[in-house]
Structure 1
Amino acid sequence: MQQPSDKVPALLDGPAVDVCDAHELLLGYLEWYRDALVRKLDGLSDYQLHTAAEPLDWSPLGLVQHLGWVERRWLRWGFGAEDVIAYPSGGDAEEWKVAAETSTAQVMTAYHMEVTAGNFHTRSAALSDKARLGGRFKTPDQAPSLGRILFHLLQEYARHVGHLDVARELIDGKTGE
């Protein structure tokens, strides 16, 4: 018989089972995937975080850096139309490569700053709100709704957190939840 102090695993990942508001669900799952990304890095040495596991050509920190750029492009430049640099000067390849002199703390701080800035745009907006014009989107017919952008971010995170599971298993044999 289960005792009250026994830990019961959650039936579902993400927001609480009683959450039914679509806005709250999307933001809750996005936050869950952001947290999962960080959880999956736990226990890796600085060397392991900076080093690509064969046959991959990206490191765990490279993936974090990429997702920081994704957050920036979709939420700040895209939805918020902020005047920010949307891509590194070296393009996609640079987005995934962490310079040897860049510390783990620098990558994680930059990532968390992008998440915080993105949250600023999403918390009070309705799912039906269209992206502002002038950043990524120049005309009203190009501008997706916040709901569309959040769905895109969820698939991006789901895919990349799965990639990180593979990398982690190659690095030290740990498997995902």
Structure 2
Amino acid sequence: MLPDDQLGDTRELHLAWLDFYRETVERKLAGLTDAELRTSRLPSGWSPLELLKHLVYMERRWLRWGFAAEPFGQPFADSGGIDDGPWQLEPSDTLDELLTALRAGGLRAREIVTGDLTAKAAIGGRFGVEGERPTLNWILFHVLQEYARHVGQLDIARELADGATGE
């Protein structure tokens, strides 16, 4: 995954694991039909494509809007504009479009994660109050745990869809 000389570099570890999780999401979704991507097999009701859209927006909310304070419209578009609302798709959402957005998010993350990991998130995006701004390191750990949790859920959804297992 990383060369030996980077195994102790926290920044590179964060970025490498984020890359790994994005690639795993892509592998887990490969080969599913559009109907399988849009259908839930779980009592909670989310579909694999909804989960992908959530990951795209989750990463934007924390790194671009959160840490870098970059404005972007509809930060909660994955949940109908409601923080913690149920995930939802637009009829026009496609696997290719969302995977392109996921990959672009990875490239933008690498651009953002260049400075001091103890730097606080900028005021003006997600965080408007001085005291509530987390560090870049905290944000990266949070984004990693979101990916880990949701990739695990996607493992189950994929197995239920067609029996495919494995990382």
Separation in structure 2 between the aligned mates of residue 16 and residue 141 of structure 1, nearest angstrom: 38
Separation in structure 1 between the aligned mates of residue 81 and residue 143 of structure 2, nearest angstrom: 23
- The aligned counterpart of 2:99 is 108
Query: Could you tell me which amino acid in structure 2 is paired with residue 62 of structure 1?
Result: E
Which of 16, 21, 26 is the aligned partner of 1:38? 26
CA contact (8 A) 2:22 2:102 kept: no
Aligned residues: 162
Separation in structure 1 between the aligned mates of residue 22 and residue 3 of structure 2, nearest angstrom: 16
Change (3 A) 1:142 1:90: closer
Query: Could you tell me which amino acid in structure 2 is paired with residue 119 of structure 1?
Result: R
Separation in structure 2 between the aligned mates of residue 144 and residue 83 of structure 1, nearest angstrom: 18
- The aligned counterpart of 2:163 is 173
Query: Could you tell me which amino acid in structure 2 is paired with residue 117 of structure 1?
Result: R
Stretches of structure 1 lacking an aligned partner (at least 5 in a row)? 1-13
- Do structure 1's residue 87 and structure 2's residue 76 form an aligned pair? yes
- Do structure 1's residue 22 and structure 2's residue 10 form an aligned pair? yes
TM-score (norm 1): 0.82
Query: Could you tell me which amino acid in structure 2 is paired with residue 176 of structure 1?
Result: G
Shift of residue 56 of structure 1? 4.4
Stretches of structure 2 lacking an aligned partner (at least 5 in a row)? none
**Which portions of structure 1, spanning 4 or more consecutive aligned residues, are displaced by more than 4 angstroms?**
none
Query: Could you tell me which amino acid in structure 2 is paired with residue 87 of structure 1?
Result: F
Which of 50, 55, 60 is the aligned partner of 2:48? 60
Which of 148, 155, 162 is the aligned partner of 2:145? 155
Instruction: Name the structure with the higher helix share.
Output: 2
SS, match of residue 97 in structure 2: helix
CA contact (8 A) 1:69 1:87 kept: yes
User: Which one is further off, 138-147 or 46-55?
Assistant: 46-55
Percent of residue pairs identical: 45
CA contact (8 A) 2:22 2:103 kept: no
TM-score (norm 2): 0.86
Asked which structure has the greater CA Rg, the reply is 1
Separation in structure 2 between the aligned mates of residue 151 and residue 54 of structure 1, nearest angstrom: 27
SS, match of residue 141 in structure 1: helix
SS, match of residue 65 in structure 1: helix
CA contact (8 A) 2:19 2:106 kept: no
